[in-house]
Amino acid sequence: MLAGLLAALTLATGAALALLPGAGAAALLHPSRHLTRASPPAGCQAEWFEGDGVRLRGWRCGGAGPRRGSLIYLHGIADNRGSAAGVIQRFTPLGYDVVAYDSRAHGDSDGDACTYGFHEKADLSRVVATLAPGPVVLLGISLGAAVALQGAAVEPRVSAVVAIETFADLRTVAAEPAPWVIRAGSFGRALRLAERQGRFTVAEVSPVRSAATLMTPVFLTHGTADRDTPATHSQRVFDALAGPKHLELVPGAGHGQSLQPRVWDAIVQWLDQRVPAA
């Protein structure tokens, strides 16, 4: 369904990067950009959202029937709002207005550096400010799940978070696949260079740290066979969460495979219990 976070962190793909921290920093900051070719789905309008110093291209979709609230879809690494089509089809008939936008440095949005939630959470708050009154649900996948968790910790309007295959903290998920020769030296230099170029702090990109202060209900799901971002990341976040929480582990599912029909059903039922009608 989505490429895993590992696909973006190519600083860990070979010993050659041990000699080229600049290449590692570039791979971290600049995931592949794929422009959105799809037209807005039925019931949706194309719109520009003002982020934190960047313009974000997205869709705003009206819900059908009695209004439940708003849902913001946050895509994964190297993806764009086009992957929201299924979410829009699933949730607008349930009464949710749905907003989907390309994250900074992705799709058709502005920005040239992905910071994995450091700046993205401020973008998210500005999008939340454009929503109609009522409950706000964040549904994020992989990178988007990490942004949702970090954003919900600082955005009081959020009523619930659905975090699919999140990472727990950026340093760990970047280091896990890295050969020891890279971790020993060049890895650290690559991260420091990325921090300077992207104007962010790697240590502060930490959904697990945000979880410790997050009282908002959170639904987590992860495949037990995920090799890109192991399920231990969602388990760490779950253990740290201060508020109501649920963890759905999917046996044998790899990255991008945990959203099976029974999991979707569980998400909808959980939201029905946790999110009051608008």
Compute the mean pLDDT over every residue in the chain, rounded to the nearest whole number: 91
Q: 5-31+38-274 belongs to which homologous superfamily?
A: Alpha/Beta hydrolase fold, catalytic domain (3.40.50.1820)
Domain ranges of the chain: 5-31+38-274
Segments of 125-204 assigned E as strands? 136-141, 158-164
pLDDT digits (tens, 9 = 90+) for 11-69: 344 433 444 678 888 889 999 999 998 899 999 999 999 999 999 999 999 999 999 99
129, with CB counted inside 10 A (0-12, 13-18, 19+), is: exposed
**Quick one: pLDDT band at residue 229, thresholds 50, 70, 90?**
very high
Q: How confident is the model at residue 180 (pLDDT cuts 50, 70, 90)?
A: low
Among 171-175, 206-210, 240-244, whose mean pLDDT is lowest?
171-175
In this prediction, residue 20 carries a pLDDT of 66
The pTM of the full predicted model, rounded to 2 decimals, is: 0.92
- Report the percentage of the chain scoring pLDDT > 70: 89
The pLDDT-based confidence of 186 (bands split at 50, 70, 90) is: confident
Query: Average pLDDT in the 120-140 region?
Result: 98
Sequential DSSP letters for 252-268: T--TT----HHHHHHHH
